[in-house]
Chain A
């Protein structure tokens, strides 16, 4: 029987600061990406889309790894806090996946000449998007809290398999998409240092945005859980 929706970890009051910090980092990252970073010798300025495309992709991966870990947490401990973390992270992961598909499509048009092509990276990403949209829809199939959390957690554990498939699809299959430039087995990132720094700041900015959204979304879910527990009593 579930008695509490409290966090199993010590909590720090971050909410007011996190939003301000995320907004400031987003402005800095955008300025660096649009103005400060040098023009690419091959692609020209259109490569600047990388500073929103790559961080949204990495944050989508991170969000779904958090869903996986939170799902394990729920299955292990039956603490509703883990279920709130899983649903919050899944929703933000779907948002980021959608945004990285859109940004990638906008980048593809001037570089590849098409908005979309049936390339392994694009297709596996679209499958990942559909899987986590399915995860969110799957949760609405039952109103029984524990059954819903358990079924969703099983799906959250299985769906994480798609992340390495998306990332490594460009190595495993013939792909039009460029090979990994930063997270690669061949050694150091193949990026100019100032471009690498801009990308690093962008990743920090998007991580802060993810955390700010996660805290807000979890609070909504925990309030809903508390109402459900009160109705039961």
Chain B
């Protein structure tokens, strides 16, 4: 069992998830403009 797996996964999900949400928001803003 990998120690601190929850922290590792949380960091990756937060960073890549944050970037993905921003990318989607850019696509939506572009669609509106």
Contact = CB atoms under 8 A, between A and B. Distances in A.
* Interface of chain A, main secondary structure: helix
* Interface of chain B, main secondary structure: helix
Interface string A90-103: 00100100110011
Contacts of A44: 3-4
Contacts, number: 71
A227 B14 CA distance: 35
A110 B11 contact: no
A103 B11 contact: yes
B12 A52 contact: yes
A45 B2 CA distance: 7
For this complex, into which size category does the number of interface residues on chain B fall?
Answer: 20 to 34
A46 B29 contact: no
A30 B4 contact: no
A217 interface: yes
Contacts of A213: 19, 22-23, 26
B19 A209 contact: yes
B7 A109 contact: yes
Contacts of B11: 49, 52-53, 102-103, 106-107
A46 B14 contact: no
Interface stretch (A147-155, A171-179, A218-226): A218-226
Contacts of B3: 44-46
